[in-house]
Amino acid sequence: MDKIKKALEKAEKIEDQVKSTISSKPKELKPVYTKTRVVPIDEDVLLKNKIYSYFPDNPLTEQLRILRTKIINQLEKINGNTILITSARPGEGKTLIAINLAISIAQKYDRTVLLVDANLKNPMVHNYLGIQVDKGLSDVLLGEADIHEVLINPSIPRFIIMPAGKKVIGSTELLNSPSAEIVFHEIKTRYPERLIIFDSPPVLTSADPLVLADYTDAVLMVIEAEKTPAEDIEEAVKLLQEKPLIGTVLNKVRE
């Protein structure tokens, strides 16, 4: 009888532990960066450059959370972890959307995010974050640096950026090379739980996003309200019609 009683008590303890685990909140992921360079950021620079998702109380942060939820839901439906953000023309705000979306996703306890500045013609991610860089994606594609050497954590938990690196002539050919295919495959598969966002050049001024879209699971196009002509939108969508376009973001809408 004593053995049976002890066995029942042990079973009850195990059941209590299981219930406690199920009912507890998800633990916050707090990666420790050993190889990734950690750099401090200036909150004043972020606010000045409209990186609103960094500030929880900013009125626009909730809109970014809504966008975050929609994007994650769409990616989960297709079992994807990579998204390309582009626009029809320059100046429509795609890079700001990419940065704000990345930080918003990183604020979820169960998500880490890698933001890749794939605009090798006019890289801007590091400027918006106020970070000085010397190497990046182009250096990796050229075989002049390893992936871990160019990654940066801008002192925001679960958020990593890969700068574009030096500007290159013939970026489309470089992005379409066998070495690029290997690099992007490694970026995508090294950390399956990580969501990867690519910021690319505009569709109507460069062939680069059409190449980059082949490496991603989804494409999001940013449209500037009251500025982007309808014919530009139609042409951009037409160019992306064979790509995994999941939607558009209407940016800079006036209340």
Tell me the DSSP string of the chain: -HHHHHHHHHHHHHHHHHHHHHHSPPPPP----SSSEE----HHHHHHTT-GGGSTTSTTHHHHHHHHHHHHHHHHHTT--EEEEEESSTTSSHHHHHHHHHHHHHTSTT-EEEEEE--SSS--HHHHHT---S--HHHHHTTSS-HHHH-EE-SSTTEEEE---S--TTHHHHHTSHHHHHHHHHHHHHSTTEEEEEE---TTT-SHHHHHGGGSSEEEEEEETTTS-HHHHHHHHHHTTTS-EEEEEEES---
Which pLDDT does position 229 carry in this prediction?
Answer: 87
Least confident interval from 184-188, 218-222, 228-232: 228-232
Is 25 inside any structural domain?
Answer: no
Structural domains counted in the chain: 1
**Residues in Cβ contact with 14 at an 8 Å cutoff, skipping those fewer than 6 apart:** none
Is-contact 155 170, C-beta < 8 A?
no
Is 157 inside any structural domain?
Answer: yes
* Most confident of the following: 59-73, 97-111, 129-143: 129-143
Structural domain that includes position 146: 33-251
Is 17 inside any structural domain?
Answer: no
Is 44 inside any structural domain?
Answer: yes
Is 233 inside any structural domain?
Answer: yes
- Of 221, 190, 195, the C-alpha closest to 72 is 195
Please compute the mean of the pLDDT values over residues 122-144 and round it to a whole number.
94
Residue 11 has pLDDT above 90, yes or no: no
Which residues is 198 bridged to in the sheet?
Answer: 84, 116
Which pLDDT does position 226 carry in this prediction?
Answer: 76
**φ and ψ at 248, to 5 degrees?**
-135, 160
Structure-block tokens of residue 139: 């250096």
- Specify the higher pLDDT residue, 155 or 192: 155
Is 26 inside any structural domain?
Answer: no
Which pLDDT does position 111 carry in this prediction?
Answer: 82
Is 40 inside any structural domain?
Answer: yes
Which pLDDT does position 8 carry in this prediction?
Answer: 46
Q: What is the mean pLDDT of the chain?
A: 85
Is 9 inside any structural domain?
Answer: no
pLDDT (tens digit per residue) in 75-92: 999 999 999 999 999 988
- Specify the higher pLDDT residue, 165 or 36: 165
- Of 241, 170, 169, the C-alpha closest to 203 is 241
Is-contact 81 71, C-beta < 8 A?
no
Structure-block tokens of residue 118: 């794939």
Which pLDDT does position 53 carry in this prediction?
Answer: 93
Residue 30 has pLDDT above 60, yes or no: no
Please compute the mean of the pLDDT values over residues 157-186 and round it to a whole number.
94
CATH of the domain at 89: 3.40.50.300
What is the DSSP pairing of strand 194-199 with strand 112-117? parallel
- Specify the higher pLDDT residue, 243 or 211: 211
